[in-house]
């Protein structure tokens, strides 16, 4: 990696409680802004159907994840649920900056705060917010991908994560998806000093 690329590379952190829609927004930004590349997180949980190692996550065993924590390989990491670890490998940032790209993250709120503290001035943190808590919890229930106990934990965690909004640079309310996608694109383009497409041209 060339030092110039590391020094000039910026970080876009999209964070939100589970179910607020941050992953959809990240995918849109990757599809519309060529200068971005996705930071693949590492996790100790098992892959879900259709998830691919190295694309969706770097899937590590619990022991391997623990060993790499001890080795100092992570920029940030967290035990999100009991015995389920998530984190950002330092090597992932180096990989993307070596490509001459800016980095975009799809990450939980505590991880976002950690990245923000490591790269002040080079990092834009956007908190994706649902129109209301009730709508968020309803979205989580409609997924029907978890047990009742697991869903209860996720809703409790989401309620706590909503309180983190003031700590981030900007807030994006995800009510009407098309509007949220446009606003996200405009915010990121402005931060990266790229041309911001006027709204009338996007219609």
Q: How does pLDDT run across 177-200, given as a tens digit for each residue?
A: 999 999 999 999 999 999 876 554
Angle at 65 between CA 61 and CA 69, to 5 degrees: 170
CA–CA distance, 197 with 191 (Å, rounded to integer): 14
Provide the edge-to-edge strand list for the sheet that holds 42-43. Answer: 58-59, 42-43, 84-89, 74-81
Q: Which of 178, 149, 174, 200 has the alpha carbon at shortest distance from 14? A: 174
Three-class SS state of 70:
helix
What Cα–Cα distance (Å) separates residue 65 from each residue in 45, 83, 84, 113?
10, 11, 10, 21
pLDDT at 149 (0 to 100): 75
| Torsion sign across C-alpha atoms 18, 103, 27, 171 | positive
Q: How far apart are CA 2 and CA 23, in angstroms?
A: 30
Q: pLDDT tens for residues 30-60?
A: 999 999 999 999 999 999 999 999 999 999 9
Query: Which pLDDT band holds residue 2 (cuts at 50, 70, 90)?
Result: very low
Structural domains of the chain, ranges and CATH numbers in brackets: 3-193 (3.40.50.300)
As a whole number of angstroms, the distance between CA 100 and CA 6 comes to 8
Provide the b/e sequence for 33-62 (b: ≥16 CB within 10 Å).
beebbbbbbbbbbeeeeeeeeeeebbbbee
Q: pTM of whole model > 0.75?
A: yes
Q: What is the pLDDT of residues 112-151, one digit of tens each?
A: 999 999 998 899 999 999 888 887 877 777 766 667 777 7
Mean pLDDT to the nearest integer, 85-90: 96
């Amino acid at each position: 990696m060339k030092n110039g690329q590391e020094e000039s590379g910026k970080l876009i952190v999209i964070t939100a409680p589970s179910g607020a829609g941050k992953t959809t927004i990240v995918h849109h930004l990757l599809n519309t802004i060529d200068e971005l590349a996705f930071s693949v997180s590492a996790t100790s949980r098992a892959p879900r159907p259709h998830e691919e190692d190295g694309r969706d996550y770097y899937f590590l065993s619990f022991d391997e994840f623990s060993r790499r924590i001890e080795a100092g390989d992570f920029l940030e990491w967290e035990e999100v649920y009991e015995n389920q670890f998530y984190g950002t490998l330092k090597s992932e940032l180096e990989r993307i900056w070596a490509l001459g790209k800016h980095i975009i993250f799809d990450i939980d709120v505590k991880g976002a705060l950690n990245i923000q503290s490591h790269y002040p001035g080079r990092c834009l943190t956007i908190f994706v917010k649902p129109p209301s808590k009730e709508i968020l919890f309803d979205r989580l229930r409609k997924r029907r991908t978890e047990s009742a106990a697991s869903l209860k934990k996720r809703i409790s965690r989401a309620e706590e994560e909503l309180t983190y909004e003031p700590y981030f640079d900007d807030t994006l309310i995800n009510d009407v998806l098309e509007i949220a996608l446009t606003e996200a694109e405009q915010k990121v383009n402005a931060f990266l000093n790229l041309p911001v497409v006027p709204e009338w041209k996007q219609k």
